[in-house]
Each structure stands twice: as C-alpha cells, then as structure tokens.
C-alpha cells in the first residue's frame, strides 16, 4: 500500500475505528489516540511487507485489541490508586501499620512464651485445644498465660494513653 492509498484508506475507515474504540468506554481523546495508534501499526505492517488481505478488518481488530489493552491498563491504574496490596484502601493500610507497630511494642514487654501463645491464638487463629496440642502444654496453663498477657498489654496501653 502506497502512502497516498493509505491516506485515503485511513480517512475512509477512521469513523468506523472511532466507534470501535469508543465501545470500550474510552473518552473521545483516548479513542482518537487508539485509532491513531492502530493506523500507525497498520502502516508499519504494510511497510514491513506483512500480507494484508483485508486492511479494514485488520484495522478493526488492531483497534479493538488496543482499546481492550488500554481499558485494562486504566482499570489497573484506577485499582492501584484506590487500593493497596491485599485489596485494602490506603487509610486501612495505614491503620493496619499503626496497629502492627503498637502490637510489636506491646508484645515486646511479654515473655517469650506469652508472645508465642498470643501469636498462635491471634495471628494464626488457633483454638486453645490446637495450641495445647501443638505445644504439649495443658490447655488451662495456656489460657491463663494468654489472659495474663492480655491484661499486661492492656495495662501498658492504658499507661501510655
């Protein structure tokens, strides 16, 4: 395809390609960008000697693929802006970070055994029976240790506030 033939072709097919690009919900300027990119891609394929049997059909397919890819990228960017890792919103993530920092400081005042029992109970969600089975300690001893640890942390937190 020569340059003048391509110019005539692109003028003829541009409106159809704009409709195809617009179906993905793109703004008018984005749809125009997609059509322009599709036509440039088609021109490059033509220059490289790619056998083009149906130029209009290929242009529509390129446009559709570019529009879908742009839509996915925009959706991903929107998701990245409104959400952080794990699907939490930014404020929730900040709050979670604050809670983690406080928990680490409070856990630091406990004995190693109390910390271990609390982590098994709170972090892993194990029941008292499961903790007893895992550690080989009596259930009543674990329950007392966890209760004492929680009271110590609560008292420490009250002092800080």
- Using pLDDT thresholds of 50, 70 and 90, give the confidence band for residue 28: low
Quick one: 62 exposed, middle or buried, by C-beta within 10 A (0-12, 13-18, 19+)? Answer: buried
From CA 102, how far away is CA 104, in angstroms rounded? 5
Query: C-alpha angle 80/86/87, rounded to 5°?
Result: 55
The percent of the chain in helix, strand and coil, each rounded to the nearest 5, is: 80, 0, 20
**Which residue do the tokens 């390609």 mark?**
17
Helices (H), 108-138: 112-118, 128-135
> Using one digit for the tens of pLDDT, what is the confidence trace for 45-82?
888 887 888 889 888 888 888 888 877 777 666 555 55
Residue 54 φ/ψ, nearest 5 degrees:
-125, 95
> Using one digit for the tens of pLDDT, what is the confidence trace for 84-124?
555 556 677 777 778 888 878 888 889 989 988 988 888 77
Question: What are the CA-CA distances from residue 118 to residues 98, 112, 114, 151 (Å)?
Answer: 19, 10, 6, 12
The b-or-e profile of 129-139 (16+ CB within 10 A means b, else e) is eebbeeeeeee
């Amino acid at each position: 395809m020569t340059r003048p033939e391509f110019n005539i072709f692109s003028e003829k097919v541009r409106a159809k390609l704009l409709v195809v690009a617009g179906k993905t919900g793109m703004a008018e300027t984005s749809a125009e960008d997609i059509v322009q990119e599709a036509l440039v891609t088609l021109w490059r394929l033509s220059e490289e000697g790619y056998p083009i049997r149906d130029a209009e059909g290929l242009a529509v397919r390129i446009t559709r693929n570019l529009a879908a890819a742009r839509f996915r990228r925009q959706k991903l960017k929107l998701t990245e802006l409104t959400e952080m890792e794990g699907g939490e919103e930014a404020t929730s993530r900040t709050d979670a970070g604050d809670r983690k920092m406080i928990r680490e400081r409070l856990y630091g005042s406990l004995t190693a055994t109390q910390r271990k029992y609390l982590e098994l109970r709170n972090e892993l969600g194990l029941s008292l029976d499961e903790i007893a089975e895992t550690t080989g300690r009596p259930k009543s001893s674990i329950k007392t240790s966890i209760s004492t640890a929680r009271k110590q942390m609560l008292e420490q937190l009250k002092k800080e506030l």
